[in-house]
Amino acid sequence: MAYFDAASAAPLHPVARQALSASLDEGWADPARLYREGRKARMLLDAAREAAAEAVGCRPDEVVFTPSGTRAVHMGVAGALAGRRRVGRHLIVSSVEHSSVLHSAEAFEADGGTVTRVAVDRAGAVDPAGYAAALRADTALACLQSANHEVGTVQPVAEAAEVCRAAGVPLLVDAAQSLGWGPVEGDWSLLAASAHKWGGPSGVGLLVVRKGVRFAAQGPVDERESGRAPGFENIPAIVAAVASLRAVRVEAAQEAVRLRGLTERIRARVPELVPDVEVVGDAVRRLPGIVTFSCLYVDGEALLHELDRAGFSVSSGSSCTSSTLTPSHVLKAMGVLSEGNVRVSLPPGTAEADVERFLEVLPGAVAGVRDKLGAPAPVTRGGPRELLVDSLGKRCPIPVIELAKVFGQVPVGGTVRVLSDDEAARLDIPAWCEMRGQEYVGEEPAERGTAYLVRRVS
């Protein structure tokens, strides 16, 4: 089985396994106690904190270990907002942040705060000018991921941090996807990360709060982790997490070159091997191991099952694979095709032969799913100047498939009106038009759902 979902969780690094096993015998006691066993545990915890600080590029007393990366984000956002409450109650985030950041923003709004969500371009990147424009006198905090978890696009953190610093606003960086590849550049103020993203054990997060940043921990506070992460520290897991971070960093430069070559091969060959595919994300400013593409006329869940049967573990941002039946907020913010979405995220050590076998298997898997869904063959004959496609009650990718089936029946200049009540259609029909070189006229309200108008131009 080829595991291609490292962006969700990387396989446990051998060094993490060794460190975890070794520290189980030394790190079980309470590090706050003064007896021998407690001192041993404290020494392990202190050494891990120093090593983590070196990897991040900060002071050891700025590092806090949390029960997860999500908890690190929640604690960091809540604490920074509370610490600067006198300044105001305005938060800035990008529209493609991880759900942990967006959920924190939603909770802040529910509590009376205001949130500005900065848009991204079609590659998924923010413009630092967007952060500059969003800043207000009452802005308490800004958040920006170092790299996107779904499409791999690297964000301009250093430039955004400079803009925020000039305005006196702290910037919290979600570095979960990038920290294993290197420290985050720029004059950021807070940072959160998660060990299972770089091959450490799950259940360990990092929260870094720079000295001088106003911060008020929320909820019950005890004496552990500077009062910012209450509860008994899982010292063996922390030691393993930091040991694996140091290990992957040693390998990072060489492995990044190798994985980047493999993902560039996928980016180039998938459109050659599979028709009607859109490769998404920035082609240059991207993480080494992530490549994402979307296939027209494909049910994302069905495709993932086909690839799983063929021996490949991949993930998807397709609405078809979601219990909510709404497209990924990342793909939606980018304005790219969401149906048939596949994210390939290669862990360090991925064999070139596995990538080649994936490229051999993919065309047949996509073709099989398209056949089952009745995907269209090209039609070029003339017909009525306007057609109505009723796709009410049908989910992705059926509305687009039905559009494509009849589109060749209208002459150049003719229009097709697609009725749909699926949220994904608002994203996928314009994306189909762009891929096909046809004109997306816009949408109109309908008695049920929405009418999407498409004009044939060629």
pLDDT at 321 over 60: no
Give the percent of the chain with pLDDT over 90: 81
* 172 against 319, higher pLDDT: 172
Q: Annotated active-site positions, please?
A: 320
Q: Rounded to whole angstroms, how far apart are CA atoms 364 and 213?
A: 54
Q: How high is the mean pLDDT of the chain?
A: 93
Among the ranges given (37-41, 47-51, 153-157), the one the predictor scored with the smallest mean pLDDT: 37-41
Write down the residue that tokens 């070189």 correspond to.
Answer: 437
430: nearest Cα among 408, 407, 454, 412: 454
What's the DSSP call for residue 216? -
Q: Rounded to whole angstroms, how far apart are CA atoms 50 and 204?
A: 16
Mean pLDDT of the 228-239 span: 88
Can you tell me whether residue 117 is helix, strand or coil? Answer: strand
145: nearest Cα among 202, 194, 110: 194
pLDDT at 382 over 60: no
pLDDT tens figures, 9-37? 999 999 999 999 999 998 999 898 999 99
At residue 195, the pLDDT reads 98
At residue 292, the pLDDT reads 97
Distances (CA, A) of 407 to 136, 215, 387: 48, 57, 8
Mean pLDDT of the 80-92 span: 97
Can you tell me whether residue 259 is helix, strand or coil? Answer: helix
- CA angle, residues 224, 236, 218, in degrees to nearest 5: 25
Centre a 10 Å sphere on the Cβ of residue 51 and count the other Cβ atoms it contains.
18
Among the ranges given (74-88, 159-173, 185-199, 431-445), the one the predictor scored with the smallest mean pLDDT: 431-445
pLDDT tens figures, 92-136? 999 999 999 999 999 999 999 999 999 999 999 999 999 999 999
Q: 189 Cβ partners below 8 Å, 6+ apart?
A: 80, 161, 164, 170, 171, 172, 209, 210, 213
Inter-helix orientation angle 300-309/352-373, to 10° = 130
337: nearest Cα among 268, 420, 265, 281: 281
pTM above threshold 0.75: yes
Helix, strand, coil: what percent of the chain each, to 5?
A: 40, 20, 40
Residue 381 banded pLDDT, cuts 50, 70, 90: very low
